[in-house]
Structure 1
Amino acid sequence: MASTKDWFETVAEARERARKRLPRSVFLALHAGSEAGGTLADNTAAFAELGLRPRIADLPPERVQATKVLGSDISLPVIVSPTGVQAVHPDGEVAVAKGAAQSGTAIGLSSFASKPVEDVAAVNDNTHFQVYWQGSRDDMLARMERAKRAGAKALIVTLDWVFATARDWGSPPIPEKVDLKTAVKFAPEVLRKPGWLGTYLRSGSLPDLTTPNIVPRGQQGPAFFGAYGEWMGTTPPSWDDLAWLRSQWDGPFVVKGVYRPDDAKRAVDIGASAISVSNHGGNNLDSTPATIRTLPGVSKAVGGQVEVLLDGGIRRGSDVVKALALGANAVLIGRAYLWGLAAGGERGVHNVLEILRQGIDSTLYGLGKKSVHDLEPSDVVVPDDFTRGM
């Protein structure tokens, strides 16, 4: 269908609508990567280096995308990745959860989210809760128990984030809180975007930079940088720490940030249910090659013992297909759905997911595949040295 005021046809168009709608600082905060942005750029560029081997006859009249990941049935192999405070829209993570539910898939909810896990899980039965190794063990147990009571199905432990002061390449300073002083400072750029401002005025709220899932339910969570500071002040975990954490969660357990085959094997050893090949969307250690480059080696290392997820650079349904063919069970998306959220709230998130669904379907058709489960490495043309020795 053609693009309309309420519907867009590509993720690139969602990004452009988000750029036009959001204040410049807010949009750049979404776009930013680490240092020179090399990893951010390679995440998308690497997919363009991969080719596909199409067929021309005996093509399947119907294609199946439904799969099961982290113990949950989803209608397409795309999951919403956890991202921090989503101030691009007043409904934030609740709108994202609804959009994902409408498309029949799961949402990963960040512990740095701006909406309580109870509100998110209430509108999407397939909610997975994400944590950092942050605070004391008792603090972490309290967060996990709260998420479990709320109905979270899986736990995602994010490890692909370093102590980098230059993390936000290309991003403006993010305010500690939205108060009168901040409002005056950002007023010139906000007033240029009356649509975004009007959405907040109609909601009766201001952009929320607090993190309610860090503290017990009912308490006021710290602002984003307060939570960030607590994380920075916590000694990073050992593999023994991660094994303990796994022992405290009786559901699916994801280690996010795996990049090397040897780390993938260690994640298997501690009893992880799944690993996520991730570089935090290009917001971790710059000069790290794209996640799709390391996926084949990681997938081979675990040999089907755990589910393998991938995030970083997914912009088209064909990107999803390439990742599945090279060893992923499903992918996670970040910026793509945030652009959709900015462009159209819940409907925009659903729109992005349906764009990917359509792209997956047409790619399966062209490859002559009846199901996402039929994909194999030979469907993809991989250039020499594509994996960069990973």
Structure 2
Amino acid sequence: MGTDMHALGADPAARPGPADPLNLREFQAAAKSTVDPVYYDYLAGGAWDEVTLRDNEAAFGRLSLLPRVLRGHEKRELDVSLFGCPASSPVLISPTAFHRLVHPEGERATARAAAATGTIMVVSMAATVAVGDIAAAAREAAPEGGPALWFQLYLQPDREVTEALVARATAAGARALVVTVDSPVFGTHERDRRNGFLDLPAGMACENMRGLPGGEPDAVRPIAMSPRICWADVDWLRRSTSLPVLLKGVVHPEDARLALRHGVDGLVLSNHGGRQLDTVPATIDLLPDIVAAVGGRIPVILDGGVRRGTDVVKALALGASAVGIGRPVLWGLAVDGERGVRRVLDLLRDEVDTALALCGAASPRDLTPDLVRGRP
């Protein structure tokens, strides 16, 4: 029989209300009932048969945690530091496009929540608020420490355009560049085709693409995907900026080793949330091989399918330096704006803290692969 909560000093007044989501899944359900179904399908959907989309989450359920006991840790320290950016937990906000589809304040609200919770936010190149305005919103929420923002980038065939984007992100205070490399072309999203969702609604645009070289001063350029982008472009970017450069979308160990040879500072192990090539394995299943390929020389951040604190602990135990969450942030934003995003981040942080305690760990640095069973 379980221990009575009153005997442990639990405060009944601190219980959430009946409509307050208790976990990320409940935020998803609440968001689905709130967001326009066409936009929800865009955010929730994946490529083709959505095999990878489903497996990103299911793969965590195939892994078990084998905890240690009697380790003598009274408190846990969840903080991490990545490329000089301190964070209150090993959970980052992954880049996701079009936040204004689900809330009028869009990325501004997300940035305020990130800053208030000490969370690193990776700003999408396809944001519906310009990176400078996002940084300003983050500074409002955390004026002392400043924003912990990174900028996600698709290398453009026109290098002058890429240079302008990097300059804007740098001027806004971005602390790293996260280059998405798994998108030589756009993946096929049948939900969007079925719904006829082909463009953003009136009054919304990819604001980081506004007023770039080669166009009218206020024109918004389309984001260009190009199959000709190659390692030489990564070398050029590495020479062009003093910011750390991470590659997002590396899933093959040989590409991880190539990234090291090309001077990349970090990897985001990602299959684009199942939105590009379908049937790519779940990222948690790929993690041990990528970690082995880089051999601790650069950080590896796992992105894809994280929905519980136990998912975070499994990824950290298998060698990830941190994890990123994308869709759950949008669920929180849709449900309650800045407060909803903060609630999502706080819930996940609390779950990580509890899972660490139950695994006998005082910090993420105490987690080791032997705590995970069922590893691929």
TM-score, length of structure 2 as denominator length:
0.89
2:239 aligned with 1:247: yes
Measured after TM superposition, the shift of residue 342 of structure 1 is 0.5
**Residues 131-142 of structure 1 correspond to what in structure 2 (within 5 A)?**
131-142=153-164
Structure 2 match to 1:295:
287
**Deviations, residues 101-129 of structure 1 (Å, cap 9, x unaligned):** 11111111111111011111123311111
Find the partner of 2:131 among 94, 117, 128.
Answer: 117
2:14 aligned with 1:28: no
Please tell me whether the aligned partners of residues 94 and 326 of structure 2 are also in contact (alpha carbons under 8 angstroms): yes
Please tell me whether the aligned partners of residues 47 and 187 of structure 2 are also in contact (alpha carbons under 8 angstroms): no
Measured after TM superposition, the shift of residue 71 of structure 1 is 2.0
**Deviations, residues 48-78 of structure 1 (Å, cap 9, x unaligned):** 0010012343452200100101320000001
Q: CA–CA distance in 2 between the matches of 1:297 and 1:288? A: 14
Measured after TM superposition, the shift of residue 175 of structure 1 is 4.2
Please tell me whether the aligned partners of residues 114 and 342 of structure 2 are also in contact (alpha carbons under 8 angstroms): yes
Q: CA–CA distance in 2 between the matches of 1:54 and 1:177? A: 47
**2:63 is matched by which residue type in structure 1?**
L
**Deviations, residues 275-302 of structure 1 (Å, cap 9, x unaligned):** 0100000101101110011111001110
2:119 aligned with 1:105: yes
Please tell me whether the aligned partners of residues 63 and 364 of structure 1 are also in contact (alpha carbons under 8 angstroms): yes
Please tell me whether the aligned partners of residues 112 and 227 of structure 1 are also in contact (alpha carbons under 8 angstroms): no
User: Quick one: percent identity of the two aligned structures?
Assistant: 38
Q: Provide closer, same or farther for how the CA distance between residues 262 and 55 of structure 1 changes in structure 2, counting only shifts above 3 A.
A: same
Q: CA–CA distance in 2 between the matches of 1:106 and 1:6? A: 28
Q: CA–CA distance in 2 between the matches of 1:325 and 1:58? A: 17
**2:129 is matched by which residue type in structure 1?**
K
Q: Secondary structure at the match of 2:315?
A: helix
Q: Secondary structure at the match of 2:25?
A: helix
**Deviations, residues 158-195 of structure 1 (Å, cap 9, x unaligned):** 0122424523547733242435xxxxxxxxxxxxxxxx
Q: Secondary structure at the match of 2:179?
A: strand
**1:120 is matched by which residue type in structure 2?**
I
Q: Provide closer, same or farther for how the CA distance between residues 177 and 31 of structure 1 changes in structure 2, counting only shifts above 3 A.
A: closer
Find the partner of 2:353 among 357, 361, 364.
Answer: 361
Find the partner of 1:220 among 192, 206, 218.
Answer: 218
Q: CA–CA distance in 2 between the matches of 1:6 and 1:252? A: 42
Find the partner of 1:176 among 180, 184, 199.
Answer: 199
Q: Provide closer, same or farther for how the CA distance between residues 83 and 221 of structure 1 changes in structure 2, counting only shifts above 3 A.
A: farther
Please tell me whether the aligned partners of residues 309 and 331 of structure 1 are also in contact (alpha carbons under 8 angstroms): yes
Q: CA–CA distance in 1 between the matches of 2:312 and 2:217? A: 39
**Residues 140-159 of structure 1 correspond to what in structure 2 (within 5 A)?**
140-159=162-181
2:102 aligned with 1:88: yes
Q: Secondary structure at the match of 1:309?
A: strand
Structure 2 match to 1:128:
150
Q: Secondary structure at the match of 1:123?
A: helix
**Residues 302-341 of structure 1 correspond to what in structure 2 (within 5 A)?**
302-341=294-333
Q: CA–CA distance in 2 between the matches of 1:127 and 1:135? A: 25
Q: Provide closer, same or farther for how the CA distance between residues 282 and 162 of structure 1 changes in structure 2, counting only shifts above 3 A.
A: farther
**Deviations, residues 346-376 of structure 1 (Å, cap 9, x unaligned):** 1111111111101111110111001111111
Please tell me whether the aligned partners of residues 251 and 269 of structure 2 are also in contact (alpha carbons under 8 angstroms): yes
**2:152 is matched by which residue type in structure 1?**
Q
Q: CA–CA distance in 2 between the matches of 1:219 and 1:94? A: 24
**1:227 is matched by which residue type in structure 2?**
P
Structure 1 match to 2:11:
none
Find the partner of 1:343 among 335, 360, 364.
Answer: 335
2:8 aligned with 1:8: no
Q: Secondary structure at the match of 2:89?
A: coil
Please tell me whether the aligned partners of residues 187 and 277 of structure 2 are also in contact (alpha carbons under 8 angstroms): no
Coordinate RMSD, CA, aligned: 1.9
Mean alpha-carbon deviation: is it higher for 59-68 or for 45-54? 59-68
Please tell me whether the aligned partners of residues 212 and 221 of structure 1 are also in contact (alpha carbons under 8 angstroms): no
Measured after TM superposition, the shift of residue 146 of structure 1 is 1.2
Q: CA–CA distance in 2 between the matches of 1:289 and 1:235? A: 22
Measured after TM superposition, the shift of residue 236 of structure 1 is 2.9
Measured after TM superposition, the shift of residue 23 of structure 1 is 1.4
Please tell me whether the aligned partners of residues 153 and 177 of structure 2 are also in contact (alpha carbons under 8 angstroms): yes
Alignment coverage as a number of residue pairs: 350
Task: For structure 1, list consecutive stretches of 5 or more residues without a partner in the other structure.
Answer: 180-205
Measured after TM superposition, the shift of residue 306 of structure 1 is 0.7
Q: CA–CA distance in 1 between the matches of 2:19 and 2:245? A: 37
Measured after TM superposition, the shift of residue 241 of structure 1 is 1.3
Measured after TM superposition, the shift of residue 220 of structure 1 is 3.3
Measured after TM superposition, the shift of residue 321 of structure 1 is 0.7
Structure 1 match to 2:51:
38
Find the partner of 1:370 among 362, 369, 375.
Answer: 362
Structure 2 match to 1:163:
185
